[in-house]
């Protein structure tokens, strides 16, 4: 019964998630890739990598930049006009990027 419930949840949640990823990718390409890289691997030395980052973390940081709770001149300006659904889409995109890690 529980499994059936999760199956049902996946059926309604996954298409929404895929849409968010696609929309987030387009937005990120225009608004974020200059600094955070086209695949979320930062292209600026002082910008953090976002590829594979947890969606919850990314959206929380964007909300904090938007409200001013987290202060950074550049990110405060970038996050200010973002809507809640744009934040959800951007977080979905960056979290969907697959990352592999190799120890030195």
Could you list the residues that contact ligand HEC (CB under 6 A)?
28, 31-32, 34-36, 44, 46-48, 50, 58, 61-62, 72, 74-75, 78, 90
Of the pair 8, 67, the CB lying nearest ligand HEC is at: 67
Tell me if 91 sits within 8 A of 59, measured CB to CB: yes
Distances (CA, A) of 59 to 43, 83, 97, 104: 21, 11, 15, 30
Tokens of residue 36, six digits: 């955070």
CB-count burial class (<10 Å; 0-12, 13-18, 19+) for 77 = exposed
Residue 32 CB, nearest distance to ligand HEC (Å)?
3
Of the pair 23, 31, the CB lying nearest ligand HEC is at: 31
Of the pair 9, 54, the CB lying nearest ligand HEC is at: 54
Of the pair 10, 44, the CB lying nearest ligand HEC is at: 44
Size of the chain, expressed as the number of residues it contains:
104
CA atoms of 51 and 91, how far apart (whole Å): 10
Residue 18 CB, nearest distance to ligand HEC (Å)?
19
Residue 54 CB, nearest distance to ligand HEC (Å)?
10
């Amino acid at each position: 019964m529980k499994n059936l419930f999760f199956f049902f949840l996946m059926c309604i949640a996954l298409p929404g998630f895929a849409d968010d990823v696609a929309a987030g990718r387009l937005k990120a390409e225009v608004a974020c890739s200059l600094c955070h890289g086209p695949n979320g691997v930062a292209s600026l030395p002082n910008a953090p990598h976002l590829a594979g980052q947890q969606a919850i973390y990314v959206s929380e940081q964007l909300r904090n930049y938007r409200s001013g709770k987290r202060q950074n001149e550049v990110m405060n300006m970038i996050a200010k006009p973002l809507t809640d659904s744009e934040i959800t889409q951007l977080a979905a995109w960056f979290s969907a990027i697959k990352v592999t890690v190799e120890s030195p």
